[in-house]
Amino acid sequence: LVDLLENGTPRGKKDAATALFNLCIYHGNKGRAVRAGIVTALVKMLSDSTRHRMVDEALTILSVLANNQDAKSAIVKANTLPALIGILQTDQTRNRENAAAILLSLCKRDTEKLITIGRLGAVVPLMDLSKNGTERGKRKAISLLELLRKACQ
């Protein structure tokens, strides 16, 4: 499925993303998906402009994976923080919310990562999301902003 996600036809990629999302909902499959290389494939989808139609799917799957320790490590190791900050700065509400949710999972107990996302420019788009997002987006943004405030004191 990970190979299909990376190399399949547009329809094959969508189907693989749907199947992987459903598999990753079950906690026991998250580690398997990480070992199969899903994080690398999803990060490529975030940064590859030719795959722009798959950003929503990539973020949705990453948000499901981000509460798994192996996935967190793989997401950070793949240098995903700048891409997630970039997505916060777009006008795609759902993508912004998922980026904030992923960042919150990655940074919740990590002052160094919080300082990094602050330096990468997360504060202004998070403030905007906290005012103009959906209830879920507002909650994630407010939580991240509060953690950032505490980390920078």
- pLDDT tens per residue, range 99-117: 999 999 999 989 999 999 9
pTM: 0.92
pLDDT value of residue 50: 56
Task: Determine the average pLDDT of the residues in 61-89.
Answer: 94
Identify the DSSP state of 122: -
DSSP symbol at 115: H
Q: Is the pLDDT of residue 30 over 90?
A: yes
Distance CA 78, CA 130 (A): 27
Per-residue confidence (pLDDT) for residue 130, from 0 to 100: 97
The mean per-residue pLDDT over the stretch 20-29 comes to: 95
Q: Answer whether residue 138 shows pLDDT above 90.
A: yes
pLDDT tier at 53, thresholds 50, 70, 90? confident
Cβ proximity of 5 and 13 under 8 Å: yes
With a cut of 60, say whether residue 59 has pLDDT above it. yes
Do 62 and 99 contact (CB within 8 A), yes or no? no
Q: Would you state the structure tokens that stand for residue 9, as one six-digit string?
A: 């036809």
Assess whether pLDDT exceeds 60 at residue 49: no
CB-based contacts of 92-95 (< 8 A; 24+ apart in sequence)? 92/55, 92/56, 93/133, 93/134, 93/137, 94/56, 94/59, 95/55, 95/56, 95/59
Average pLDDT over residues 3-27: 94
Q: What is the mean pLDDT of residues 70-96?
A: 93
Least confident of 47-56, 63-72, 98-107: 47-56
